[in-house]
Structures are given as C-alpha cells and as structure tokens.
Amino acid sequence: MTVRRLLALPLLGALLAGCGIRATEVPTDFGAAPSRVPCSLAGPDGATQSSRGVPVQVFLLCGASLVAVDRAVRVPEGTPDARRRVIVAQGLLDQLAASPSAAERSAGYTTYVPGGLGVSGPGPKDPEDTLRLSTAPSRLTSYALAQLVCTLSDSAATEDDGSVILGGPGPGPLRRYECTDDVRDHPGTAQPPSGGVTGG
C-alpha cells in the first residue's frame, strides 16, 4: 500500500497543476477588438483609384448616417458633356449597388441601393440636367433614395448646386431633390426635400 501511495503522489500533483488556466493557441471570437473605430477606413490608394477611372465619392450607410467613400468611374476620353453626365451617373449607381469591400463591411458600411438600377438622360421636354431612373424614385426605400440623392447631387452628373432632378422611366413627373445635413444624419427618417419641376 505504501508503494502505491508514493506512486500516486506525482500523478495527483500533475492533475492539480492542470487545473490552472493555460495559454491556448485556439482562436476565440468575442467580438471586435475595442480599438476598432466604427466607420473608420484607411486612406485610399490614390494611384490605384486614378488608374481605375475618374475619382468620385458615393454615400454609404454607416452607423445610421450617410458617409462618403471614395470610388472611381470609367469615362471614355472625348465623351460629350451630356453623355458624360449619364455615364458618371450610371457608374455611381453601380458603385452604390455593389457590395461594400471587406474592409468597409468590417467598419460597418452597408448599402440599400438595389442592383440593376439604370439611368438615362433627359427626355424631349425635360431640363437638360435631368436623370431618369429605371425605377421611379418614389418606389425606392428612404435609405436608397437618400444615398442616391446625396451621391448624385454632389457629382459631375449634375449641375453642382447641391440638388439633382430625378424622374422615373417614361414621361412621368420630375422632382428636384436636395441633400441636406438632416438627410445625411438621418437617412431613414428624413426625406430629401424636393419640389416639382416643369419641362425645360
């Protein structure tokens, strides 16, 4: 019995030592690191952006407000201004509908603009800076409309006066929409101010 007790002592000691907390290399996931700042992105690579086309900005949703992020749109050299406006507008719509990058998603960015949304220039009786969407603006969600209005009104697709004239397909009515601080801060509840537009 004495020999058995002596042999059991080292085993008991090893078991007791194993009760402590040991370091582990198994990854654990307890959420984002505290140092991560929501809606904070590293600066874009300017050379890469410019090589992809004309530098532009689009508004994505992050933390319940709209935040501008850098993008690029390809525009062929020598494109007439009227055609250039539509190309830029379509490029902006495509960028808004695209899924944010992995880094943007990690920082909390998202978009509500649906895919497949098209844009064309003015109809025969529309003002020259009109943009007609393939879906009527009134059919878009408040978030999607806010993203579109704020992105387009601050781009080469419009007259650079902080507003954009939008309509749906066909000869339907037009409205001039504005992007305000309230819309950028509360896109889910603050509708972009708008007013009716007569033909040009």
User: Distance between CA atoms of 143 and 154, rounded to whole angstroms?
Assistant: 17
Using pLDDT thresholds of 50, 70 and 90, give the confidence band for residue 44: low
Q: Which token pair is 30?
A: 């307890």
What integer is the mean pLDDT of 6-10?
48
So what's the pLDDT on residue 77? 87
C-alpha 174: how far from its chain's center?
Answer: 26
| Predicted local distance difference test score (pLDDT) of residue 11 | 47
Angstrom distance (rounded) from CA 89 to CA 137: 15
pLDDT on residue 78: 85
pLDDT tops 60 at residue 194: yes
Query: What confidence score (pLDDT) does residue 198 get?
Result: 79
Residue 102, token pair as written in the block: 């992995």
Section 62-82 average pLDDT? 91
Least confident window among 49-53, 117-121, 122-126: 49-53
* Residue bearing tokens 């495509």: 94
Tens of pLDDT, residues 159-183 = 777 899 999 998 889 999 999 999 9
Instruction: Yes or no: say if 188 and 158 are a contact pair by the CB < 8 Å rule.
Output: no
